Amino acid sequence: MLKIGITGGIGSGKTTVCRVFEILGIPVFNADVIAKSIMVTDAFLISSIKREFGEEAYLPNNELNRSYLANKVFNNQEELKKLNSLVHPVTIKAFIDWSLQQKSAYVIKEAAILFESGSYRDCDFVIVVTSPEEIRIKRVKNREGVSEENVRSRMSKQMPEKEKTELADFIIINDDKTAIIPQVLKLNEYFNSISRTTPSISE
Ligand code: ATP
């Protein structure tokens, strides 16, 4: 079964594009959502995080102490790297276990930091969703009611879009002018056609 990665910068439209694939019956694994869930359910990961960041990383009811951890990793690349190095292997394993249960011709892994985490290496192809910076800022401001400064600050911590598109196998343009459905249909047709003849990277 082919594994397709989907990534892109904040507000580019990754989740929106994935919804279209889901409507076509393609299972989508949202790595960011799953990682958040694993951080409060995987006993080994919880104890590793507590060991590295202190017992305060979790609240008494075992919820993640998000503000405490955010303070630790915000503007501290080393601490962020440390946290990611604990969470990523568990998320990668969850993706592999999940994909083994799927019956479709291909599956999708949606991840904001697919390249940065190295998990693009487990994908047969990577799609990068792109959108001009001004549009992405407008979308995130509307979605979250935050300031332009807030969005720009988060953007500045991400891999630049140009670097992502250079690493992409396919690009989906989501610029409010180009329709995304025909782009998704074309890729769906391609992945369905090659899945019959191409073994996955992990097979
Ligand atoms: P993030 O990484 O920040 O979670 P994302 O790349 O997954 O973002 P989406 O959540 O899909 O992006 O899109 C960001 C916002 O823009 C959402 O509110 C979504 O509804 C809206 N949006 C995305 N694409 C379009 C589009 N083509 N037309 C209208 N609204 C869109």
Q: Residue 15 C-alpha to ligand 1 middle, in angstroms?
A: 6
Q: Contact at 8 Å (CB) between 123 and 106?
A: no
Q: Which residues pair with 5 in a beta bridge?
A: 109, 126
- Cα separation of the two ends of the chain: 8
DSSP label of 105: S
Residues in the chain: 203
Rounded CA-CA distance 180/171 in Å is 11
pLDDT for residue 184: 98
At residue 201, the pLDDT reads: 64
Residue owning the nearest CA to atom 2 of ligand 1: 10
Q: Is 174 in the pocket of ligand 1 (CB under 6 A)?
A: yes
In this prediction the pTM is 0.91
Question: CA-CA distance, 3 to 108, in Å (whole number)?
Answer: 6
Residue 12's pLDDT is what? 97
Q: Is 11 annotated among the ligand-binding residues?
A: yes
Q: How far, in whole angstroms, is CA 174 from its chain's centroid? A: 17
Which tokens go with 196? Answer: 């019959």
Q: Is 14 in the pocket of ligand 1 (CB under 6 A)?
A: yes
State the Cα–Cα distance between residues 118 and 18, nearest whole angstrom. Answer: 20
Q: How far is CA 4 from CA 11, 85, 125, 200, in A?
A: 20, 22, 5, 10
Q: How far is the CA of 16 from the centre of ligand 1 (A)?
A: 6
Paired tokens of 37: 């869930």
**67 Cα: distance to centroid of ligand 1 (angstroms):** 25
- Given the candidates 1.20.1560.10, 3.40.50.620, 3.40.50.1220, 3.40.50.300, the CATH classification of the domain at 1-27+107-194 is 3.40.50.300
Q: Which residues, at least 6 apart from 136, have a Cβ–Cβ distance to it below 8 Å?
A: 9, 10, 11, 12, 151, 155
How high is the pLDDT of residue 76?
Answer: 86
Q: What is the pLDDT of residue 203?
A: 63
Amino acid (1-letter code) at residue 146: V
Report domain extents, the chain.
Answer: 1-27+107-194, 34-101
Any known ligand binding at 41?
no
13 CA to centre of ligand 1 in angstroms: 4
CA angle in degrees (0–180, nearest 5) for 149-58-40: 90
Q: What is the mean pLDDT of each run of 10 residues along the chain (203 residues)?
A: 96 97 97 94 94 94 91 87 92 93 95 91 95 96 95 92 96 96 97 81 64
